[in-house]
């Protein structure tokens, strides 16, 4: 049976101050009160799906690459898209991490002083993927996170360089082409979405249906992935300041903070509560101090 995770290590190796020590501070996750009576995750429908199996056969690899896979103690940072990153001059500090994770179409070019130049992987889904092929960074992994069955059909067409057939079912326009070889693509284990939503944040299960109010943001999903695979985890560009409705929502565009109030898929207040627990317990480090 093939693994869906992009790289695998014993779960919950977390932040350790000072010298990076592999598998340090596992017990820190005890600060989280996990909701009880959540049905066990049944991955059989995902792992045995014919489409996913064909994609995994083509992508072949599940790690970060030979050089990073040899690093015994990984320091990772999740770079969020928040406007709080703007004018913070954190670029050089972000680039010091072994693994730099970026989300969706958030640009690097034009913002290097604040967000750095290094991209190890970019996690995205069809509606969030970069649509201009020349805007992709060189040598970064394309990591795919699926929120609905239709997403896997889109990914299959991107992997095998097929013509995109129909876009009904997507809530906005999607990329027509991803300039990556199959071996440079990964599928994020769907369990990270499940764990973030129902075990960590405590969103309503809704009989297993993902929809109104129970879809975690991609940033929280990325943090969950990092907590499984990294020894030190930091974040930058996270945090919604709902008391400043006219503040920029993202560092690269003019959309205002008030726009997030219109989201019906996420529960921002419960996510913030979860992230604050992680910061307070030193499980993650918040470089921009927006959480």
Beta bridge partners of 101: 78, 121
Q: What is the CATH number of domain 74-147+188-286?
A: 3.90.1480.20
As a whole number, the mean pLDDT across the chain is 83
Q: Residue-wise over 172-206: b if at least 16 C-beta within 10 A, else e?
A: eebbeebbbebebbbbbbbbbbbbbbbbbbbbebe
SS3 122: strand
DSSP 3-state of 252: coil
Structure-token match 């879809």, residue found: 215
pLDDT tens readout for residues 75-107? 999 999 999 999 999 999 999 999 999 999 999
Q: Identify which of 248, 246, 247, 240 has the alpha carbon closest to the alpha carbon of residue 217.
A: 240
pLDDT by 10s per residue, the chain, length 291: 344 445 433 333 333 344 675 654 344 444 444 444 444 544 445 544 688 889 989 998 889 999 999 998 999 999 999 999 999 999 999 999 999 999 999 999 999 999 999 999 999 999 999 999 999 998 899 999 998 888 999 999 999 999 988 888 898 999 999 999 999 999 999 889 989 998 899 887 766 666 666 789 999 999 999 999 899 999 999 987 777 888 888 999 888 887 776 665 778 889 999 999 999 999 999 999 999
Cα gap 210→230, rounded to integer Å: 27
pLDDT by residue (tens digit) across 243-258? 788 888 899 988 888 7
DSSP 229-250: H-SEEEEES----TT-TTSBSB
């Amino acid at each position: 049976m093939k693994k869906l995770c992009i790289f695998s290590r014993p779960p919950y190796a977390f932040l350790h101050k000072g010298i990076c020590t592999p598998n340090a501070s596992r017990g820190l996750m005890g600060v989280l009160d996990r909701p009880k009576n959540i049905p066990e995750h049944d991955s059989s429908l995902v792992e045995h799906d014919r489409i996913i199996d064909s994609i995994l056969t083509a992508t072949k690899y599940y790690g970060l690459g030979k050089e990073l896979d040899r690093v015994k103690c990984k320091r990772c940072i999740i770079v969020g898209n928040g406007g709080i990153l703007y004018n913070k001059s954190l670029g050089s500090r972000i680039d010091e991490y072994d693994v730099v994770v970026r989300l969706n179409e958030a640009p690097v070019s034009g913002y290097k002083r604040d967000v750095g130049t290094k991209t190890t992987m970019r996690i995205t889904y069809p509606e969030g993927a970069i649509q201009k092929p020349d805007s992709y960074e060189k040598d970064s992994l394309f990591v795919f996170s699926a929120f609905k069955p239709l997403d896997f059909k889109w990914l299959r067409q991107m992997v095998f360089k097929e013509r995109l057939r129909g876009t009904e079912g997507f809530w906005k326009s999607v990329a027509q082409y991803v300039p990556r070889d199959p071996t440079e693509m990964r599928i994020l284990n769907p369990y990270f979405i499940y764990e973030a939503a129902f075990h960590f944040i405590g969103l309503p299960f809704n009989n297993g249906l993902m929809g109104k109010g129970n879809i975690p943001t991609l940033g929280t999903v990325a943090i969950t992935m990092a907590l499984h695979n990294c020894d030190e985890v930091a974040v930058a560009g996270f945090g919604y300041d709902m008391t400043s409705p006219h503040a920029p929502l993202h560092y690269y565009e003019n959309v205002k903070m008030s726009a997030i109030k219109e989201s019906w898929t996420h529960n921002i207040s419960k996510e913030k509560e979860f992230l604050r627990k992680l910061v307070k317990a030193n499980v993650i480090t918040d470089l921009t101090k927006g959480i």
